[in-house]
Structure formats: structure tokens, C-alpha cells
Amino acid sequence: MHITALASLLALPALSLAAPTVKQVKQHTLGVKHSPYAPDHYDPYDRKVDSQAEGLHPEPFRNGKGTTVLGPRNRMREQQDPDMVRPPSTDHGAMPAMRWSFADSHTRIEEGGWTRQTTVRELPSSNQIAGVNMRLDKGVIRELHWHKEAEWAYVLSGEVRVTALDSDGGSFIDDLKEGDLWYFPSGHPHSLQGLGENGTEFLLVFDSGGFSEESTFILTDWLAHTPKAVLSENFRLPPELLEHIPLSEKYIFQGSIPGSIDEEKPRAFKQSKLNFTFNMLDVEPRVGSGGEAKIVDSTNFPISKTIAAGHLSINPGAMREMHWHPNADEWSFFIRGRARVTIFAAEGTARTFDYQAGDVGVIPANMGHFIENLSNDEPLEVLEIFRADRFMDFSLFDWMAATPQRLVRDHIFANHPKAAKEFLKRVEGGGKDVIKKQYYKSPEAGKELEDLREEAEEL
């Protein structure tokens, strides 16, 4: 331990009593180059640390408090969860788990494919939505089935053929690629099949946390549990011809390679007038200074009555601004990169979670939050999914802009007119900037911030 550094920290009584001035912090850290997890590291602003990219092991030291870990450790987990080991000083109170990784889900392995799920059983806070990650190799089929829940899906990789039947008796067939979506309302029968050289992988989302991929209504399962005499009557066939049908469900299995949609369309059957599929690339993004968001809900994808979604790309150092969703829990799936998210749950309760590719996060409706791009080596790409017909959010920035300035001043800066003036100048007129670029490191902010800092130090 850096005894001298620790001693010098203790020798700064102001630090432990009140928020330190910028000058004190600067002096304290001047010329000290060491890990942000060192006992003598001081950061009153709780900056993010990408411990994985920097090869740092998080330690439970924060601003002069804490000590070493003596017991057993799972260092890889700790590196993935730096804000659990050393949470920001603003975290407080009890909050249930809001993170799960598909890496912790059981994988069901089948012929040419696999599937794993994150439901309320894996993550108890995931009670509005369940997610399934599925892979089907070339020609591999997720067999004809239906279920009580509606199904929304996002193609993560490769190509997939989907078939469905609508409730007006129209047949539907389409081929999808990475970034495309589908939605099957509750009870609508459908199938999926991997195309292309390597088949496909996708994320399925169901509008109930209690969904189980193990309990869908499957064609072969039904046939196997119906008397052959009844099948014979139903299909107008001698029962002898039904002797060799499967004895149990096939679920995921190697199928033959499909022909083109045109070749395979059931000609004698009426075609569906509905669109069960959607190309997310077609969506006009909400462009922010630090990235963009594409929103898909029933306003642009009419059939998707129970699921609304946003696809976010967050630039270097940028963040999805502070906001909340009034109408549903957010269920996020991280496609690329790493993120830091603090969830504010009222009653002085807040907890910070770190997420990375393959993780699922839940943010209950109305709880305030942000998403920071933590990763220095990978883009941050995330899906926000809601059990709702519309995507809705409230921006804290815009709320401050929409409120009479006097009210804002009285709430936040009653004793600090200078800071009030600067704050109100920033928010004036709102931002409509849902993903904000990093301000502190931008060249234009540099000079302006230096000036403001010097003024702050003089106060």
C-alpha cells in the first residue's frame, strides 16, 4: 500500500468533511500515475473505468475508504463488474439484480443448432419480457409451432427464412438478414430456418417474463399425442400411412435446403396481406451528437402491438442521456461493446451495473437511468425493448429546459447564481440530443471548461 499517499490523503481534512474543491483534488493527484483502484486514488466525480480493456483488477477502495480482499475471488467476474466491486459514491440502498448474461443461461443443444433463454427464472426482475438466443445452421429448422406469447425478433447474424399464417387465413413467407425484425402476434403459427453458408443467429423476445422456450405448441409433439385414428380422419388418409411419423417433438433439426420464396410459396393458398417482418435499416434514426437511435414500434411496424424497441449506437465516450420510460420496463440486450448504467429507484436508492455483449439488463418503468459507452476497443450497440405499443421516454435535459428557469434555479442552485446561469444557458431550448457526445474531451469544450473551472476554484 502507498502509505505516504494514504497519509497525505488523511492529512487533507477537508476531503473527508465536505466535497473537495477542484484545486484540492488537482493538487492531491498531481503527478501521481497509478491505478484508479489504488488505495490512494481519489475521484470525487466517480468517473467510469473500463477495467477489462485496461487490464485492471477492481479493488474495493474509494476515496480513502475500503480495504483489500482477503478471501476467494472470481477475478474475471470482478473485471466485468467494476462498478459492483467499487461502486460510485452516489450508489445507495438495496436493489434487486438487474443484469444477467446469456453466458450464465443453460444451452439446449440440438441437431445443427442450440438455444438458451433469459426469463424471470434466470433474472427475477425480467417479469415483463423473456429473451431467447437461438442459432440455426444452414438448412436447420426451428420447427412449426405457436405459443401464448407474442414473439418479436432481431436477426443478429446470417440469414433466416420465416413462415407464418395470419388470422385471416393468409400464408406468409420472407427471408431476413442481420438487422431485420419479425413479430408474430400471440398464437400465430410460424417456423424458422437457417439460410446461407452459416445459417443464422437471432434474439427472440416474448411479451411475458414467464415464457419458456420449452413449452411451445409444436407440430410433431401434437401429432405424437393424438390417436392415429383421429389423424387419419382429420387428414383423410389411411392410418397405415401415418405409422412412421415422429414419436416426439423434433424442435430443432437439420432440414433440406430451401428453394427461393417464389418456388416455395403455397400456390393454392391465399397470401397474407400483413407484414410480419420489418427492415430496421429503413428507419430514419434520431441522430444525437454522440450516436443514433432507431425506433421501431406500432407507429412504423403496425403489427407489433405489444413490443416497442430502440436500436442504439453510442460513439466513443458518448452516452445515452439521463431519461426514463413512463410506459414499460426496459429490457436491454447488449450486442457489442461495454456500458455503465446507473439505475435510480427513488427513496435515495441507486445502483450501478456494467454490461457487455451478450448481457441482458432490466430497468423497471419510470426508474431514471443513462447508458455510458465504457468500451475503448469496441462500439457500443444495444437494443432497448419494451412491452408496449409505443416507444416513450422523458429526457431530464429537456424537462429542465421546459421548466421556468426560476423553478430550476430554486431547486438546484439556490445558493449559486453563477452556476445557475451557466446551467440554464446549457439547457435553454432543450437538446433533443438523446445520445450525447463526450463533452469534457471535445476540443470546443476545452477552453470554455478551463475558464469555468478557474471561476469555480475562485468561489
Ligand X SMILES: *[C@@H]1O[C@H](CO)[C@@H](O)[C@H](O)[C@H]1NC(C)=O
Closer residue to ligand X (CB): 239 or 316:
316
Query: Can residue 383 be called a binding residue for ligand X (CB under 6 A)?
Result: no
- Tell me: is residue 147 an annotated ligand-binding position: yes
The CA distance from 118 to 273, in Å, is 33
Stretch that binds ligand X, among 89-97, 192-200, 322-330, 355-363 (CB under 6 A): 192-200
**CB of 276 within 8 A of CB of 182?**
yes
Query: Can residue 33 be called a binding residue for ligand X (CB under 6 A)?
Result: no
Query: Can residue 16 be called a binding residue for ligand X (CB under 6 A)?
Result: no
Closer residue to ligand X (CB): 208 or 313:
313
**CB of 430 within 8 A of CB of 397?**
yes
* Catalytic positions: 384
Minimum distance from CB of 272 to ligand X (Å)? 9
List 434's β-bridge partners, or say none: none
Give, as ranges, the residues between 244 and 283 that touch ligand X (CB under 6 A). 273-275
**CB of 271 within 8 A of CB of 152?**
no
Query: Can residue 379 be called a binding residue for ligand X (CB under 6 A)?
Result: yes
Helix orientation angle between 22-29 and 443-458, rounded to the nearest 10 degrees: 110
Query: Can residue 380 be called a binding residue for ligand X (CB under 6 A)?
Result: yes
Query: Can residue 101 be called a binding residue for ligand X (CB under 6 A)?
Result: no
Grid cell listed for 159: 440469414
Pairing of strands 308-314, 277-279: unpaired
Kindly report the CA angle at 174 between 172 and 179, in degrees rounded to 5? 135
Query: Can residue 431 be called a binding residue for ligand X (CB under 6 A)?
Result: no
x/- letters, 123..162, toward ligand X (CB under 6 A):
----------------------------------------
Q: Looking at this protein, which amino acid is placed at residue 433?
A: D
DSSP 378: S
Binds ligand X by CB under 6 A, chosen from 112, 194, 317, 361: 317
Binding-site size for ligand X (CB under 6 A) equals 18
DSSP 207: S
Closer residue to ligand X (CB): 159 or 213:
159
Binds ligand X by CB under 6 A, chosen from 179, 316, 358, 431: 316
- Tell me: is residue 214 an annotated ligand-binding position: no
- Tell me: is residue 57 an annotated ligand-binding position: no
Query: Can residue 105 be called a binding residue for ligand X (CB under 6 A)?
Result: no
Query: Can residue 198 be called a binding residue for ligand X (CB under 6 A)?
Result: yes
Q: Which residues contact 416 (CB under 8 A, 6 or more apart)?
A: 459
Kindly report the CA angle at 69 between 67 and 73, in degrees rounded to 5? 155
The CA distance from 151 to 305, in Å, is 11
Query: Can residue 313 be called a binding residue for ligand X (CB under 6 A)?
Result: yes
Query: Can residue 315 be called a binding residue for ligand X (CB under 6 A)?
Result: yes
Query: Can residue 27 be called a binding residue for ligand X (CB under 6 A)?
Result: no
Minimum distance from CB of 193 to ligand X (Å)? 16
- Tell me: is residue 151 an annotated ligand-binding position: yes
Binds ligand X by CB under 6 A, chosen from 215, 234, 248, 376: 376
The CA distance from 207 to 435, in Å, is 27
Q: 283 vs 253, 298, 299, 432, CA distance in Å? A: 34, 13, 11, 18
Q: 349 vs 68, 91, 222, 344, CA distance in Å? A: 26, 7, 49, 6
Binding site: what residues are annotated?
145, 147, 151, 190, 323, 325, 330, 369
Q: Which positions touch ligand X (CB under 6 A)? A: 196-198, 273-275, 313-317, 337, 373, 375-376, 379-381
